[in-house]
């Protein structure tokens, strides 16, 4: 039987990055059970789309999710990345309701 998931690798990558903003691509690939090349492509897609900002810190990268941005292809009202991450990862939301770039 073919394995499949309701959550795409891009969404799973966002969840992983939210919890591990300084993780290496190797770590992301292992968490997603994909190749490093696939992990690189996913991160590139997220950075190019503006959902993740990649910042160089010495020899490593640090990732910042732009959780105030709207999700793509949502049904009904437009949800933000942060609202979806809050639901999936039980992160909780900022008490003042302001949108900030997190993790």
Q: 34: burial class by Cβ within 10 Å (0-12, 13-18, 19+)?
A: middle
Given the candidates 1.10.10.10, 1.10.238.10, 3.20.20.140, 3.90.110.10, the CATH classification of the domain at 9-89 is 1.10.10.10
Task: Give the residue extent of every domain in the chain.
Answer: 9-89
Note the pLDDT of residue 45: 97
Strand partners, 102: 65
Asked if pLDDT for residue 68 goes beyond 70, the answer is yes
Per-residue pLDDT reduced to its tens digit, 36-54: 999 999 999 999 999 999 9
In the numeric block, which tokens belong to residue 64?
């910042």
Asked if pLDDT for residue 83 goes beyond 90, the answer is no
Strands 52-57 and 60-65 turn out to be: antiparallel
């Amino acid at each position: 039987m073919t394995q499949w998931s309701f959550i795409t690798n891009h969404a799973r990558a966002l969840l992983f990055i939210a919890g591990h903003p300084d993780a290496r691509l190797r770590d992301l690939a292992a968490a997603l059970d994909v190749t490093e090349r696939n992990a690189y492509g996913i991160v590139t897609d997220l950075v190019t789309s503006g959902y993740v900002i990649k910042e160089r810190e010495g020899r490593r990268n640090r990732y910042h999710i732009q959780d105030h941005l709207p999700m793509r292809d949502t049904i009904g009202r437009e949800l933000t990345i942060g609202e979806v991450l809050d639901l999936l990862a039980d992160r909780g939301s900022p008490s003042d309701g302001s949108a900030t770039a997190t993790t």
